[in-house]
Structure 1
Amino acid sequence: METEKIRVMWFVPPLLALVASQDAQAMTVHADRNCSSDEQFDALVAGDVDAVVTSMDNVIGWNRRAGPRDFRVVAQVERTTPLTVVARPQLRNLHDLRGADLLVDAPDNGFVVALRAMLRDAGVASDAVRLTPAGGVKERFDALVAGQGDATLLGPPFDSMAVASGFARIASVQESYPDFPGQGVVVRKAGEANPNVAAWLRALERARRRISGNAESARQAVLAAGFPGTVAEAMIAQNPGSLRPTTEGIALLIAHRRSLGLVGADNDYWTIVDDSMVEQCMGGMK
């Protein structure tokens, strides 16, 4: 009888989780779609979930908030998170965002840090834009389409949906920062001893290997979840080479915070990541 179960939250189900769920003996995953990273933070603090899938920068920000300050990234579930700056059609480039109202999840943690770094690199001062919290990727897409704000960061499938609705694609995080990392599995430090988290990571690792050897099975899992074929191909392209968070990606997150004068610039890889469960599941599957 299946007894393993895990409670997770995410913005969009990651490919590895979709493929893992197709296993005939898959563990039970109770997954909720969250509307913001703050909702993820609250759920982890309250113990309502065992893990969340989120921007790895959130760990840096969350560990500086009032609260437990014991968050860690235990795995990376995609090579990178494709992020596009989508704006109203009259805005053609990052320079045009001066004076714009930018819809974000949170102003000081998560993917917004990469957006702020891109603006700084383009010569747009931080006080030249307004950052308006509007929730997760779906919520930001809905708000933009509804006429709120001037631009936002979107990932698949919402970036292509926005362009199809007449909005302009003006920049991408990956074009500016090729080492930008994908989302991570985040737990509180006590979760590192949770056997169900470890079991889920083993399931995700089996899925990662399955995708590497059989992309068509992954495509079918994405289609079965209701996503279009173009999204399936984009997700498959981001299948990570390992669940271990990349040192280059973590270093980039820290460098962005340092360049922007944000808290957390004194972090290093090991204050953000605990790869012990990934190492254990890799070692047990060789």
Structure 2
Amino acid sequence: MTNHRLRVMWFVPPTIAVAASWQEDVGLSLEASRTQSSDEQFAALSDGRVDAVVTSMDNVFHWNHRPGPKDFVIVAQIEATTPLSIVAAPRIKSVSDLGGAKILVDAPENGFVIALRAMLKQAGLRLPDYTLAPVGGVKERYAALVAGEGDATLLGPPFDALAIKEGMHKVAEVQASYPEFPGQGLVVRKPSLSSNPGIRLWLKSLVEALVQLPANLEKLRNSLSSEGLPDEAVSAMLQSVPVSLIPDERGVNLLIEHRRLLGLIGSDATYGQVVYLG
């Protein structure tokens, strides 16, 4: 039997992927690698070093306007939402206190930072009232924040809880401002859907994991806890598991609305242009 290869790149292993890894994937060889930034993911997809990435769905709007293949599509929503908090030095108590702050980000014009910029604008702040300093993915931002290299950043579990244990302060939660904020998606180049059967095989494995998850919930909790994650982080990760892999239309449209609010490229896109379910 042919063993189809799928190279996927992510920041941290998604919770549903952990559950799917328990299955015997007949005909699928999954090779996962960790990324340090969305720019690295863009480059790796563009030049064919990887076949798929798990990333903020907002990235697709920007990537399809950058010099490159311009054929990126979202084929699944891997998380119901990505729990995100603005975590900052203790002196910063509210979003409005971020005026003049150095905010650590992955990339300034795409990804989760767009929701943060929308929150800042609604608090009366806009560039150049604050500085965006690219330092990399969530692990890199966590390390830079606790090292005092910036004033604030966006963090999700488990790094938000770890930063708070290091003396940082939670300023606000993205989900409190935007309840429909969507989680990460599985992004590929559209031509690869017909050339690489591994993509559909992994999607099938993820769907089967969702079906079997209710009977394996405690196993999943124990698996995450065994990695030394705080209990609050494990609970947040379990709650992030989606009901369906179909990207939520309200969530995708929220991302488009944020881009429109900030006057960024990609705000003229539609759900049907960036999501491919064929």
Per the shorter chain, which TM-score range? over 0.9
CA distance in 1, matches of 2:89, 2:228: 28
Post-superposition CA distance 1:223-262 (Å, at most 9, x none): 4555444433221111111000000000000000001111
Q: Which runs of 5+ in 2 are unaligned?
A: none
Amino acid at match of 1:131: L
* Cα-Cα RMSD: 1.4
Residue 179 of structure 2 is aligned to residue 178 of structure 1: yes
| 2:4 match | 4
| 1:160 match | 161
Structure with greater proportional helix content? 1
Q: CA deviation at 1:114?
A: 0.3
Conserved 8 A contact 2:142-2:163: yes
Post-superposition CA distance 1:148-175 (Å, at most 9, x none): 0100000000000011111110001100
Q: Secondary structure at the match of 1:90?
A: coil
Normalised by the length of structure 1, the TM-score is: 0.93
Amino acid at match of 2:21: S
| 2:247 match | 245
Q: Secondary structure at the match of 2:167?
A: coil
- Residues 79-90 of structure 1: pairs in structure 2 closer than 5 A: 79-90=80-91
Q: Secondary structure at the match of 1:108?
A: coil
CA distance in 2, matches of 1:230, 1:29: 29
Q: CA deviation at 1:184?
A: 0.1
Q: Secondary structure at the match of 2:188?
A: strand
| 2:257 match | 255
Equivalenced residue count is 276
| 2:268 match | 266
Q: Which runs of 4+ in 1 moved over 6 A?
A: none
Conserved 8 A contact 2:161-2:233: no
Q: Secondary structure at the match of 2:144?
A: helix
Post-superposition CA distance 1:207-235 (Å, at most 9, x none): 11222343112223324555444433221
| 1:19 match | 19
Q: Secondary structure at the match of 2:266?
A: coil
Conserved 8 A contact 2:102-2:131: yes
CA 1:24–1:230 in 2, change beyond 3 Å: closer, same or farther? Answer: farther
- Residues 182-193 of structure 1: pairs in structure 2 closer than 5 A: 182-193=183-194
CA 1:185–1:274 in 2, change beyond 3 Å: closer, same or farther? Answer: same
Q: Which runs of 5+ in 1 are unaligned?
A: 277-286
CA distance in 1, matches of 2:97, 2:187: 35
